């Protein structure tokens, strides 16, 4: 269930671009067809593929060529904060991740990210647990670099309490900030050129004082310290665009919220962009029916491509984009080809306009 009360599975939201500098945060952008020399944003999918079962040339061809995905937020590598991917390039997991990148890149899905979510509780007051989490993120960034991934995607939604409620109150803010800064530095040291994707709208819901499992109050000092690690590129994958059709204005809202936050909290300048998210298919793992008709999906996708600089993303809800997929055996929706047509036509139009 997301903050607006809509049930969903682990995944989230979107951003915007206008050339300029706001509150020391660099933003670059242009609307589709405006004559910008920038390349088109790339289309990322969340969920959908499963690295343990679909690291094959056939699967890569389906996702990259048939569907048109240009990258993935990849689950089941560092599943949660407590997962340690290790440091051995000869391990099965490291070799699998590199093979995934090789196969999927050849099919056009070049921009892949290790996705990490908050599925298990973490005690901020446990020094040993904090030390382990910092090391885990360092190892994940090292694996991403080794495999050729673009970076790490951190899903900040509290599937269990972590930002408030049973996890603790404002007295924990200094501890949270200290460990967030250490996490950021550890990832940057391991992968200096990495892109960090922040999945979801933790800042928005934190400032609104809304959210489940105790809300997002502690996510604010976490974000402040994490962003102070000076990642070369940060992408906010917003979910605010899931339920509303006004992609451009919502992206600008997310942009303004981060600009204000950076100014208020003295966050150092960072190249930060917004990736609009769309959730067109899937009501459950077995129900792959449309949430919006293909024409509306195409309209939103075109608007998202017009307002994003680097990435647009689709929440795939399990195997909603594949018959007999790893997350659900049911067939895709009857008019599935119409959704694929909108993907390919949008990408083609964008390339033609640029």
Identify the CATH number of the domain in which residue 258 sits: 3.20.20.150
Pairing of strands 71-74, 113-118: parallel
Long-range contacts of 329-338 (CB under 8 A, 24+ apart): 329/286, 330/286, 330/287, 330/288, 331/288, 332/281, 332/288, 333/281, 333/288, 333/289, 333/290, 335/290, 335/294, 336/281, 338/294
Is residue 3 domain-resident? no
Is residue 11 domain-resident? no
Is residue 5 domain-resident? no
The predicted model scores a pTM of 0.89
Pairing of strands 71-74, 42-46: parallel
In the prediction, which pLDDT does 269 show?
84
Residue 281: both structure tokens together? 């298919």
Separation of alpha carbons 49 and 259, rounded Å? 34
Is residue 169 domain-resident? yes
Is residue 14 domain-resident? no
**Cβ(219)–Cβ(163) under 8 Å?**
yes
In the prediction, which pLDDT does 138 show?
98
Give the start-end residues of each E strand in the chain: 20-22, 25-27, 42-46, 71-74, 113-118, 151-158, 195-199, 233-237, 272-274, 277-278, 311-315
Instruction: Report DSSP state, residue 325.
Output: B
In the prediction, which pLDDT does 179 show?
98
Give CA separation, 128 vs 125, 168, 299, 344, in Å.
Answer: 9, 18, 49, 48
Strand partners, 236: 198, 274
pLDDT per residue of the chain (354 residues) written in tens, 0 to 9 = 444 333 444 333 333 332 232 323 333 332 233 333 468 999 999 989 999 999 999 999 999 999 999 999 999 999 999 999 999 999 999 999 999 999 999 999 999 999 999 999 999 999 999 999 999 999 999 999 999 999 999 999 999 999 999 999 999 999 999 999 999 999 999 999 999 999 999 999 999 999 999 999 999 999 999 999 999 999 999 999 999 889 999 999 999 999 999 999 999 988 999 999 999 999 998 899 999 999 999 999 999 999 999 999 999 999 999 999 999 999 999 999 999 999 999 999 998 876
Total number of domains constituting the chain: 1
Residue 87: both structure tokens together? 């440091």
Separation of alpha carbons 329 and 324, rounded Å? 4
Distance of CA 129 to the CA centre of its chain: 25
Separation of alpha carbons 278 and 237, rounded Å? 10
Question: Could you list the residue range(s) of the whole structural domain that residue 300 is in?
Answer: 20-353
Strand partners, 21: 26
Give CA separation, 239 vs 29, 80, 131, 204, 245, in Å.
Answer: 20, 20, 31, 10, 12
Find all residues with CB under 8 Å of 293, minimum gap 6, and list them: none
In the prediction, which pLDDT does 13 show?
32
Is residue 2 domain-resident? no
Is residue 1 domain-resident? no
Is residue 132 domain-resident? yes
Residue 237: both structure tokens together? 């994958």
Strand partners, 152: 114, 196
Residue 176: both structure tokens together? 């949270």
């Amino acid at each position: 269930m997301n903050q607006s009360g809509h049930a969903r599975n682990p995944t989230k939201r979107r951003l915007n671009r206008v050339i300029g500098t706001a509150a020391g945060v660099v933003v670059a952008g242009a609307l589709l067809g405006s004559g910008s020399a920038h390349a088109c944003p790339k289309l990322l999918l969340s969920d959908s593929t499963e690295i343990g079962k679909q690291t094959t040339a056939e699967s890569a061809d389906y996702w990259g060529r048939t569907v048109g995905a240009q990258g993935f937020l990849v689950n089941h590598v560092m599943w949660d904060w407590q997962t340690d991917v290790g440091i051995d390039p000869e391990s099965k997991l490291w070799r699998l991740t590199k093979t995934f990148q090789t196969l999927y890149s050849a099919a056009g899905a070049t921009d892949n990210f290790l996705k990490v979510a908050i599925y298990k509780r973490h005690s901020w007051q446990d020094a040993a647990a904090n030390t382990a989490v910092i090391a885990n993120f360092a190892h994940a960034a090292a694996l991403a670099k080794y495999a050729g991934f673009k970076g790490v995607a951190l899903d900040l939604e509290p599937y269990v309490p972590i930002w408030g409620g049973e996890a603790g109150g404002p007295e924990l803010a200094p501890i949270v900030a200290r460990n967030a800064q250490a996490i950021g530095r550890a990832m940057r040291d391991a992968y200096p050129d990495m892109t960090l994707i922040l999945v979801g709208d933790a800042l928005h819901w934190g400032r609104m004082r809304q959210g489940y499992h105790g809300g997002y109050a502690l996510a604010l000092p976490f974000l402040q310290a994490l962003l102070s690690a000076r990642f070369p590129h940060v992408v906010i994958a917003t979910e605010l665009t899931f339920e509303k059709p006004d992609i451009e204005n919502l992206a600008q809202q997310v942009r303004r919220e981060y600009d204000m936050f950076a100014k208020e909290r003295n966050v150092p300048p960072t190249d930060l962009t917004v990736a609009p998210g769309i959730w067109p298919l899937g009501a459950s793992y077995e129900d792959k029916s449309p949430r919006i008709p293909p024409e509306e999906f195409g309209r939103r996708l075109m608007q998202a491509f017009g307002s994003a600089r680097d990435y647009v993303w689709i929440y795939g809800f399990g195997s909603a984009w594949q018959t007999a997929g790893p997350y659900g055996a049911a067939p895709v929706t009857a008019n599935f080809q119409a959704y694929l047509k909108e993907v390919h036509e949008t990408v083609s139009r964008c390339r033609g306009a640029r």
